[in-house]
Amino acid sequence: MKDFLAHLRARQMRTLIVTNAHRDGLNLKLQETGLDKLVDDIIVSHDFRLPKEDPQFWHEMQKVEPLIRPRLCWWMIACQCWSLPANTALVTC
């Protein structure tokens, strides 16, 4: 995943991670992986009080990061890539 994110960054694409993880668990993961240093932002579904699986979450998230007609492309198992405006990529896991 680090190579993939580095590739997107090299292409000057805005990158986001969207997660259902609780902040405490996420912080532990980020300490181990350093992925927060490879992306522009991390959006935590708990901040919206909705899981990513709830369609309302994506409506609320669009207020922070507007999506342009999501287009799925699968990268690794259970990860989704969405197309976003202005050279932006989003990986959700």
pLDDT below 70 — which residues of the chain?
Answer: 67-93
Residue 1, pLDDT score = 75
Whole-number Å distance between alpha carbons of 45 and 61: 9
| Residue pair 57/20 in contact by the 8 Å Cβ criterion | no
The secondary structure of residue 16, as a DSSP letter, is E
With a pLDDT cut of 90, the percent of the chain lying above it is 17
pLDDT at position 24 is 92
| Residue 29 near residue 42, CB atoms below 8 Å | no
The pTM score is: 0.69
